[in-house]
């Protein structure tokens, strides 16, 4: 695999492409769970190629297992502020406010097993944004949710992003290319371990006629000429 891409600060980039194309691998390289055999990774202009995951200015969210099973919703958010889980009154208060901001204050004392999948992901999102990391990597976080709920969750990401003092850069893997519409700024189409194409959401979804992209989207390329 060989990835070459520049994501401008503050951009929301959607990564699409066939299964096995390398989308999760690319996120793992950025997060530091995998080290590249060569090349350079720069974050916010600094070289982070060999940095430990915890040293990187990154927040991550996955399809599941974002929350600690033994902690309540409030504690799962507060732990983003106090990783040693010695929850101060101030951290609990901030977690409560974050829950209220997403309309989940009534769930403060529930554990993940007592929440729906959508509620769990909303709690995880609240924690992610509370930590104010400048770069967010979202690996299919809403894949298990239905279309309407996925739209609600993307709208919540957009709202939290707008509320942030400095909007984070977002790189989001999705198996639903249409989810990028209205939310992401740009799409990167990965194929066979390469960034095959990048472009605006509209260009990639509606105009680009690249045969591999069209095949992935399940659409034949348009026949041109007479
Ligand atoms: N640690 C690893 N060592 C070797 N090969 C791996 C490793 N992790 C993934 N792969 C391989 O790399 C390729 C890309 O995997 P990756 O999970 O990045 O794809 P993806 O685009 O995220 O796919 P999906 O959409 O199915 O999640 C696959 O062929 C996979 O088998």
ipTM confidence: 0.89
pLDDT of residue 82: 87
d(CA 161, ligand 1 centre) in Å = 29
d(CA 222, ligand 1 centre) in Å = 31
| E strands in 105-156 | 135-139
**CB of residue 21 inside a 6 A radius of ligand 1:** yes
pLDDT of residue 152: 92
| DSSP 8-state assignment for residue 107 | G
Query: Are the beta carbons of 98 and 124 closer than 8 angstroms?
Result: no
For 56-62, what is the mean pLDDT? Answer: 95
98/64 Cα distance (integer angstroms): 20
Query: Are the beta carbons of 54 and 43 closer than 8 angstroms?
Result: no
pLDDT interval class at 64 (50, 70, 90): confident
**CB of residue 20 inside a 6 A radius of ligand 1:** yes
Query: Are the beta carbons of 77 and 99 closer than 8 angstroms?
Result: yes
pTM given for the model: 0.91
pLDDT of 111 > 50? The answer is yes
222/200 Cα distance (integer angstroms): 19
176/143 Cα distance (integer angstroms): 8
More confident residue, 62 or 188: 188
pLDDT, tens digit, 9 for 90 and up, residues 119-133:
999 999 999 999 999
- Pairing type for strands 186-191 and 194-200 reads antiparallel
pLDDT of 182 > 80? The answer is yes
For 126-150, what is the mean pLDDT? Answer: 92
Query: Are the beta carbons of 79 and 95 closer than 8 angstroms?
Result: no
**CB of residue 27 inside a 6 A radius of ligand 1:** no
**CB of residue 37 inside a 6 A radius of ligand 1:** no
């Amino acid at each position: 695999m060989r990835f070459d891409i520049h994501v401008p600060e503050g951009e929301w980039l959607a990564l699409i492409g066939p299964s096995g194309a390398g989308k999760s691998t690319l996120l793992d390289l950025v997060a530091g769970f995998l080290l590249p055999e060569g090349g350079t990774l720069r974050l916010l202009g600094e070289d982070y190629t060999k940095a430990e995951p915890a040293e990187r200015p990154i927040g991550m969210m996955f399809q599941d297992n974002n929350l600690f099973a033994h902690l309540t919703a409030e504690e799962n958010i507060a732990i983003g502020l106090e990783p040693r889980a010695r929850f101060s009154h101030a951290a609990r208060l901030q977690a409560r406010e974050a829950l209220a901001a997403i309309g989940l204050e009534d769930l403060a004392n529930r554990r993940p097993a007592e929440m729906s999948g959508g509620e769990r992901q909303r709690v995880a999102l609240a924690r992610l944004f509370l930590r104010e990391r400048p770069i967010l990597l979202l690996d299919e976080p809403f894949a298990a949710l239905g279309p309407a709920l996925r739209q609600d969750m993307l709208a919540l990401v957009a709202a939290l992003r707008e509320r942030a003092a400095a909007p984070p850069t977002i790189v989001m893997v999705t198996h639903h290319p249409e989810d990028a519409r209205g939310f992401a700024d740009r799409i990167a189409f990965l194929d066979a371990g390469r960034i095959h194409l990048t472009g605006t959401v509209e260009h990639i979804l509606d105009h680009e006629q690249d045969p591999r992209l069209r095949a992935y989207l399940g659409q034949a390329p348009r026949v041109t000429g007479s």
